[in-house]
Structure 1
């Protein structure tokens, strides 16, 4: 039982580090794309306002929510492996 608790805690810490890194990376890529879009298009508002509005829309997008799969997919895979190992 102690081994399972250690696996859960260690796994949660590792997945959280991966999630934070992936989230920052995805947000920086989105910010770079918004800056490029601002330079290529009409500059009706200043760059920082344009980028901020774009990032607010990004925060509500499905792509942002898909990053949470970092937590879901490994837990399902490990659960399936444990189940198949013990009950097959």
Structure 2
């Protein structure tokens, strides 16, 4: 399975609920879980409740997911929105 599909399947990960999902929180999680020459992929979805779920996965260079998490909030901060827009809906960070 391709890494992006694995990331979407990772939505079953534990979710942390907050009022606003901030890039600072996401970046700290990436920094704490990065793997050499890997990537972090971040996507969002709008839930039926109107809240956002932001899902993150860390991948090895071979595309194997090493960890994942999700945050849920009423809003997304401006930096996450900017990065999602620039990335066509997916934020990719090279670790």
Q: Is the shorter-chain TM-score for this pair beyond 0.5, marking a shared fold? A: no
The TM-score normalised by the length of structure 1 is 0.26
Give the structure with the higher percent helix: 1
Give the structure with the higher percent strand: 2
The TM-score normalised by the length of structure 2 is 0.25
